[in-house]
Every structure is written in structure tokens, then in C-alpha cells.
Structure 1
Amino acid sequence: TILTPGGIGNGWVSIARNTPSLFQIYILYFGLGSLGLHVSSWLALLAGITFNNAGYLAENFRGGLKAVPQTQVRAARSLGMTAFQTYRMIIVPQLLRIVFYPLTNQMVWAVLMTSLGVIVGLNNDLTGVTQDYNVKTFRTFEYFAIAAVLYYAIAKAIVASARLMAWRLFRY
């Protein structure tokens, strides 16, 4: 049923993954504002991206956990390991190796989604500053091309850092 913890989790993941993050940010900023709960544009952006991103992360971890063979659990238990030891020493290391690159993709996605902050009045992020310069100078292509290059560089830096971490963590 829907009121069980699994049902609530499945419902939340379904809503988070199957509605646009733009709408989630709108609901948090404008929808809560119409109910008398005014939140800052930064908080609405952060909460919207977090809500949406967490739905995808939950699915990444669920898939990663399903990818670890049950024979690993049975083998660890047959060696006398407790459930906690099995998860700590057998399941979680394999799980992290499986989900590491999808987590990196989600991190890049979250950084790129900060550009949506301009729709709720956030003007002190990269897209907001770019929009301000565009309004003052009408040099749309130049400024947004520079912003795109900066977003690209940020994304590549995240990916390069993740590759370095993966090389360090998963060398065996």
C-alpha cells in the first residue's frame, strides 16, 4: 500500500523523477509563496534540485544494490560474518564501485541545473550574472557563450576529479 515506508519512498522517487525540476522549483518558490510560506530564491533552487536529484540518486543506489549478487551475501554469511560486517566489508564496497560514475553524472547534472535559478530571481549565480550583463550591453551571444564555456569547464573539472578519485579508490 502507499502508506508503508516502501510505498512512500516509491511515490517520492516517482514524483521526483517524473516531473521537471523546473516545475519543482516553481512550486517551491511560487506555490509555497501563494500559501504564505515565502522562501528565498536560493532556498527554492537548492531544495528543488535536491528533491529532483535525490530521486535519481535513490534509483542509482537501488540499482547498484540489486547489481551486487546475492551469492556474495550468502558467502559472507557462510564465513560467519554478521549482517553488519557483510554490508560494511562486502556489499558497500561493491555498491560504491557500481554507483560511483552515475553519482558523478548526477553531481554534474546538479551543478548545471543551478542555471535554473534565474527563473526565480536568483541573480548572483553564473547564469544570473550573465543575464545582468546581457541586459546592460545586449551582447547576448558573447556573454552566454562565455557562460557556456565556464559551465563546460566546471563539468569537466568535476569529471576529472571523479576519475582521479576512482583511480585512487578502485585500483585493485
Structure 2
Amino acid sequence: MSLDFVFMKQHVPEFFDALILTLNIGLIGIMISVFIGVFNNFIYLMNNKLLSRIIRAYTEVSRNTPFLIQLFFLYFALPSIGIKLSGFATAVIGLSFLGGGYMTETFRSGIEAVSKNQVEAGLSIGLSKMEVLRYIVLPQAVNITIPALITNFIFLLKETSVVSAIAVKELIFTTTSLIAIYYKTYEMLLLLTIFYIILFLPISLLFTFVERRMKYGQYGS
């Protein structure tokens, strides 16, 4: 078997465009997911039973339904009630919905790991609940949840591969489209592998560095 490297070189720009789109979807979805996770935990700390039940229902739905089904609902079902989303918007909203559930549970576990004595001490010196959350609970919770957050970030980036099902021109969609047109299966799969390595390897190394800095920073360096 011989690979057509000239053909592969011709289509590298298309893969770069797909890589940028994949990264944009992933990063925007992750940022919104983190916001959702933090916001939901603010609601939890308010001890409002109704809102807490709604958030629990949301986390169960988001984490226990396939991402593909969520995308199909947004892309194909919503237009029937007059809401039509572009493929990019659908991908971002879907990824945010999925990630928000995971981030909510990740932050919740981190917050619950903070000693209640510290919370009570903060309240006893006159801090409001919001100030206790901001200055005492969240800094420690973030440090505790760094490994889980990194796992979630990588998981959500990998889930961007699913959005090819709604014709978003990310890496998987680009690969399958070119295979369907030119029948250069091995060349396209090799390019796909290379570009996923380009995407994930630097991010993985960066997250590992950040995790180590956060881990040892609390003890001094």
C-alpha cells in the first residue's frame, strides 16, 4: 500500500480550517459549561429546594442522554416550533448543555469537600454567603477539582467529533466528505489522526503543567 502524499498535502488547508472550527466549538462550549457549573452551584448554596430540584433534573438529563440525541433535538426538533439554529450554534449550545451537567457535579463535589467549619468561621466573622463562597469555598474547590475539570475539558473536546452528524465541517466531517469524494481512505484517516494529535497533545501537556503547578503551588515552589 502506497500513500498519495501529494494528495494529502493539497488538502491540509481544509484540515486546518476544520481544526480551527473544532477548537472554537470546544473552547466556547467549555467556557459556557464552566459558567453553568458555577452558576448552578450558587443556586445550590441558596438552599432553594425548587431550584435545586430543577438543577438536579437538568444534570441527570444532560449527563444521561446521548450527546447525539441532544444535537438532533436542537437541530431537527426546535425548527418545528419556530426556533432554527445554525450548525455552529447547535454544536456550541449542545456541548454547553452536556458540559454544564458535568461541570455542575464536578464543582459540587469540590465545594462539598471544603470543611464546613471554614464556612461557619467565615460567616461568624461577618462575611456574607457570597463572600464566603468567593473567598473561602471557591478557591479551595477549584484546587480540589482541577483533575476532574481537566478530564471534563478533554472529554468535551473529544465530543466535538459528534457534531459532524449535523453537517458541521469539523475534522470528522471533513474526513468523511473527502473520503466520499476521492476514495482516499487511508490518506484521509492519516491526516485526521495527525490533526487530532496536533489538537490534543499540546492541550494535554498544558493541562498537565497547570495541574502540577496548582498541586504544588499550595505548598510553595
TM-score range, shorter chain: 0.7 to 0.9
Q: Which moves more between the two structures, 152-161 or 60-69?
A: 152-161
Q: Cα distance, 1:12 vs. partner?
A: 0.8
Please provide the CA RMSD for this pair. Answer: 2.1
Q: Cα distance, 1:40 vs. partner?
A: 0.9
- Other structure's SS at 1:136 match: helix
Q: Which residue of 1 aligns with 2:90?
A: 44
Higher relative contact order (CA 8 A, sep 6+): 2
Q: Which residue of 2 aligns with 1:68?
A: 114
Q: Which residue of 2 aligns with 1:54?
A: 100
Q: Which residue of 1 aligns with 2:77?
A: 31
Aligned equivalents of 1:144 and 1:81: distance in 2? 60
Task: For residues 86-133 of structure 1, give each alpha carbon's deviation from its aligned partner in whole angstroms, at most 9, with x where no partner exists.
Answer: 33332111101011221122211222111122111112x222221222
Taking structure 1 as the reference length, the TM-score comes to 0.86
Task: Trace 1:1-172 onto structure 2 (pairs within 5 A).
Answer: 4-77=50-123, 80=125, 82-83=127-128, 84-123=130-169, 125-170=170-215, 171-172=217-218
Q: Which moves more between the two structures, 24-33 or 128-137?
A: 128-137
Task: For residues 29-66 of structure 1, give each alpha carbon's deviation from its aligned partner in whole angstroms, at most 9, with x where no partner exists.
Answer: 01112333221111111111110111111010111111
Q: Which residue of 1 aligns with 2:17?
A: none
Percentage of matched positions with identical amino acids: 26
2:98 is matched by which residue type in structure 1? N
1:24 and 1:48 in contact (8 A); partners too = yes
Q: Cα distance, 1:153 vs. partner?
A: 3.5
Aligned equivalents of 1:100 and 1:153: distance in 2? 23
1:119 is matched by which residue type in structure 2? A
Aligned equivalents of 2:167 and 2:135: distance in 1? 47
- Other structure's SS at 1:38 match: coil
1:53 and 1:106 in contact (8 A); partners too = yes
1:104 and 1:158 in contact (8 A); partners too = no
Aligned equivalents of 2:62 and 2:91: distance in 1? 14
- Other structure's SS at 1:148 match: helix
Aligned equivalents of 2:121 and 2:197: distance in 1? 45
Give unpaired runs (5+ residues) of structure 2. 1-48
